[in-house]
Copies of this chain bind each other. A is one copy, B any other.
């Protein structure tokens, strides 16, 4: 593994390997001093073209737990504004001896490891990996599970990466959304589609809610947030349709009261903060697999 750009690059085996390595780092994260020397002397830079505090903090925490050095810069205030190409920016970073670049932007042909943190190629591979890991903590395997992904699939890099990863691990996916929030073409997507959340919920093992952006209203893709919630929100009433072992997931940040009712977000079956916690361990695994010297995890 040289870069992590897309879930598709990993394949089923690659995904399985990341999840195995993640196990070790979940254990590390639980220690009183959650730190291993696996990446001592390595430097990881986060280079974010759009701000994402959550993902950046998760990657930085992961790197620090592996004893890597971290630096970050937001590209909006950097030389990219001055018209430098991304290629030159990344080459510059590389020339400084930096080992990995966590980016929200496409990039290729560079020597430093490049980790897609959620924008380029319309993917967010580490989110999909942590989602798989979280489901497996509860259900042992994704094989044969039924996942309902609900909401703004059209604008979601999470949805695309999740569908790829869930499918690779044997789950089947139903997208539940109004037609205006589905991609213009789903050709080649291994998914079913529904516009009726109530009908889908009783058979779902996982209901994965996507964040509803305010912008969709102004773009006339939705009549109103209230209408969206009425038809696609996981209200208390709808959550009662789920079977006992079904999980509720969300990539965060949540709009409580829009795509998810506040009290549903606080149910034990809602594993949203576990997703966040597993995110650090999954990113440790990815960083380790890209940068580790082969000298072991340093556990």
Which residues of A come within 8 Å of B, CB atoms? 29, 31-35, 40-41, 43, 45, 51-54, 56-58, 60-61, 64, 69, 71, 73-74, 77-79, 82-85, 88-89, 91-98, 213-214, 252-256, 273-274, 276-277, 279-280, 293
A54: B residues at CB distance < 8 A: 78-79, 92
B43 & A33 in contact (Cβ 8 Å cutoff): no
B88 & A256 in contact (Cβ 8 Å cutoff): yes
Contacts A79-B253, A255-B83 given; does A64 touch B43 at CB 8 Å: yes
Please pick, from B32, B77, B88, B255, the residue contacting A51 in the complex, using a CB distance under 8 A. Answer: B77
Contacts A79-B54, A256-B88 given; does A69 touch B74 at CB 8 Å: no
A43 & B61 in contact (Cβ 8 Å cutoff): yes
Told that A32-B41, A61-B71, A91-B276 touch, could you supply 20 new A-B pairs with CB distance under 8 A?
A33-B40, A34-B97, A35-B41, A45-B57, A54-B78, A58-B96, A61-B98, A82-B253, A84-B253, A84-B255, A88-B253, A91-B273, A92-B273, A95-B273, A95-B276, A96-B276, A96-B277, A96-B279, A96-B280, A97-B280
Number of copies: 3
A254: B residues at CB distance < 8 A: 84, 88
B97 & A61 in contact (Cβ 8 Å cutoff): yes
Please pick, from B33, B252, B253, the residue contacting A41 in the complex, using a CB distance under 8 A. Answer: B33
Q: List 18 A-B contacts (CB under 8 A).
A: A43-B64, A53-B77, A53-B79, A54-B78, A54-B92, A56-B73, A57-B93, A57-B98, A60-B71, A92-B276, A94-B273, A95-B273, A95-B274, A95-B277, A96-B276, A96-B277, A96-B280, A97-B277
Q: Which among A57, A254, A293 has the highest number of chain B CB atoms within 10 Å?
A: A57
Distance in Å: Cβ of A231 to nearest Cβ of chain B:
20
A96 & B57 in contact (Cβ 8 Å cutoff): yes
Contacts A51-B78, A73-B53, A77-B53 given; does A214 touch B32 at CB 8 Å: no
Can you list the 5 inter-chain pairs with the closest CB atoms, starting with the nearest? A33-B41, A84-B253, A53-B78, A95-B276, A95-B273
Distance in Å: Cβ of A101 to nearest Cβ of chain B:
11
Distance in Å: Cβ of A109 to nearest Cβ of chain B:
12
Contacts A51-B78, A71-B57, A92-B252 given; does A97 touch B29 at CB 8 Å: yes
